[in-house]
Structure 1
Amino acid sequence: MKKKDELKQVVDQAIAEQQVPHVKINQIGPNDVNIKKLTQPSKETHQEYWGKGLTYAAIGLIIVLVISIIGFIGVHGLSTFVSDHVNVFHFLTSTDWDPSEGKNHVGAAAMIVTSFAVTLLAAIVATPFAIAAALFMTEYTSKKGASFLQSVIELLVGIPSVVYGFLGLTIIVPTIRKIFGGTGFGILAATLVLFVMVLPTIASLTVDALKAVPKQFRQASFALGATKWQTIHKVTLKVATPRILTAVIFGMARAFGEALAVQMVIGNAVLMPANLISPSATLTSQLTSQMGNTVMGTLPNNALWSLALLLLIMSLVFNFLVRLVGRKGSK
């Protein structure tokens, strides 16, 4: 009882000495407390429930959409092999592409080779320029210069694919025709167009990769007597290599899935490319040019869906490579 009396005395003293006179704590009794209101969920709690519900609904919708897209493309793409009995090995290795003539003329090897050739060449050409631009923006130029270059890169990203294709058709193709002869259409023209298209993607992600390198690494290198270029070469680039590889893979994924711009400059001839200036076709260019000319459910239509299934598989492979490189980089 003594402790309770002491506690009551302390409370009464605190109430008497309170600094806010209009708060009459000493007049609040047990009957004045609304227990029901205190125990029920508040307005903020209801808002939190709504927020979580909308978030989970959006995530569920995205999952359903992804599964539906994969399932739809998978069902139609596999119809070539299940319903039309086309041999998978023949489809991947044959260069004879004329599905209207029958299942023995469904070979996508030429388009597969061309797609990979264009993608790899575009990445090889664009990567040095992207890394150089990123190094200039992060290591040499001022903040205003970096901001200006970043605006230019973002502007390049926002240009529609058809504009790139039209510029390639009116400038690059005639130039190649004049210098090397032939029609001007082919892998070289597509590579140059894709080089400009993937450069902003690789450059932007490389800038982020270089900015993520801790400043302490650079300072330690300078403290040991290294020059600026030695620090960039031996420290900055090595630390940022996993992220730079991720940027290159993203650029390759963009190049591999590009359709309209490539279709306008590559020639759209389903032939195994003899050289860089011979007309050829990629998986995407064949899809965009021929899908509207086929009837749903027929062999030519199913064969095109099989090309789409190949593109989907390659997209998943690129995503897997990004995650794999990211995990190694985090270690």
Structure 2
Amino acid sequence: MRSSWSSTLSRFPSDTILVWLLRGCGLLTGAITVLIVGFLIWESSPAFRDVGVQRFASDSSWHPSAGPTKGQFNLVPMIAATSLATAGAVLLAAPLGIGSAVFAHFYAPRRLRRAYGKMIELLAGIPSVVYGLWGLVVLVPLISRWHPPGTSLLSAIIILTIMILPTIALLVGAAFDNLPSEYLRASAALGLSRGRTVTSVVFPAVRSGLFTAVLLGTGRAIGETMAVLMVAGNVVQNPTRIFQPVRTITANIALEMAYAMDGHRSALFVSGLLLMAMVIVLAGFAEWVSRGRIHG
């Protein structure tokens, strides 16, 4: 098989050039990823050497500008805020995104489905700073009337939910589009209702696509910066209530990198390395799920 493929390429030089060009693009993409990870490790190494790993979880607060000996480097409040905001957004956006995709593909009339799809694509393309501006001007005052100060973990969860919902909906819709039509015809032949077809035929068939959509939406929520920075309040504290102002890891980097020096700067790169690790784990898990390794 390999020899026949090679002989075929040899007869078409343009295909050979295309194959090597694509290989080069793949190698370049991989090299960029390795360089980014290597850069983060290199910039984080002074903090690991002078501060140590333990202090990022055991120090009393986050005040790194005082230096490695007198500074405080506790990242736990920001890790907790990032995790809670992401988890809350995913718990809300996943059922909404999946439900909207089900409506568009199996219940909406054709014209409405087309308009609905364009609207979801538009939501997915809106810049995050626009979401943040809307949240700051509209959402935060609404929450403040209910429970001051308004800038809070709840605001971050709602903004992230709105931002990742179209991503999940589009990816789930793509999974539905790839579903073989024989599945639906067989379901119709058995006399199954539309709802029973969705729950008993469609969902099991595209299970890996559903998991992948949720995981990639989670990755976007983890890495979101500007919108969360504008509505979360940016107070470094362990969140114990949903109405408390919080600061996420990404917001912390954006706020402090402009003036950070020496150990402070290196500690921020530790935060970036932590985020990179979280995204890599999510991407690996999404790839594992997309290969159909999870079975019901």
TM-score relative to the length of structure 1: 0.80
Would you say 1:288 and 2:254 are equivalent positions?
yes
Q: Which of 211, 216, 235 is equivalent to 2:201?
A: 235
Q: Which amino acid aligns with 2:292?
A: K
| 2:178 corresponds to 1:209 | no
Partner of 2:130: 163
Aligned length: 284
1:221 corresponds, among 167, 187, 200, to 187
* Structure 1 equivalent of residue 218 of structure 2: 252
CA distance in 2, matches of 1:225, 1:47: 51
Corresponding letter in the other structure for 2:276:
L
Q: Name the counterpart of 2:245.
A: 279
Instruction: Choose from 182, 186, 189 the match for 2:152.
Output: 186
Higher RCO structure (Cα 8 Å, ≥6 apart):
2
CA 1:93–1:109: 2 relative to 1, 3 Å: farther
Amino acid at match of 1:242: S
Contact preservation (8 Å) 2:168, 2:217: yes
Gap regions ≥5 residues in structure 2: 1-10
Residues 1:143 and 1:64: Cα distance change in structure 2 (over 3 Å): same
Alignment of 1:24-173 (within 5 A): 47-82=14-49, 84=50, 86-94=51-59, 96-103=61-68, 105-173=72-140
1:89 deviates by 2.8
Q: What are the superposed Cα offsets for residues 189-219 of structure 1, whole Å, 9 maximum, x if unpaired?
A: 0111111110110000111122223333233
2:6 is matched with none
Q: CA deviation at 1:67?
A: 1.6
- What's 1:20 paired with? none
Alignment match of 1:314 (pick from 275, 278, 286): 278
CA RMSD of the aligned region, Å?
2.0
- Aligned partner of residue 292 in structure 2, secondary structure: helix
Unaligned runs of 5+ in 1: 1-43
Larger radius of gyration: 1
Determine the C-alpha separation between the residues in 2 that align with 1:157 and 1:191.
17
Q: Which residue of 1 aligns with 2:166?
A: 200
Q: Which moved more, 1:193-202 or 1:211-220?
A: 211-220
SS in structure 2 at match of 1:328: coil
Alpha-carbon spacing, 1:64–1:225, altered in 2? closer, same or farther (3 Å): closer
Q: CA deviation at 1:46?
A: 5.1
Q: Deviation above 6 Å: which 4+ runs of structure 1?
A: none
How far residue 127 of structure 1 moved from its aligned partner, in angstroms, is 1.2
Among the aligned pairs, what percent are the same residue?
32
TM-score in terms of structure 2 length: 0.89
Question: What SS does structure 2 have at the residue aligned with 1:213?
Answer: coil
Q: Is the 8 A contact 2:120 2:166 kept in 1?
A: yes
Any conservation in 2 of the 1:95–1:110 contact (CA below 8 Å)? no
Q: Conserved in 1, the CA contact under 8 Å of 2:65 and 2:260? A: no
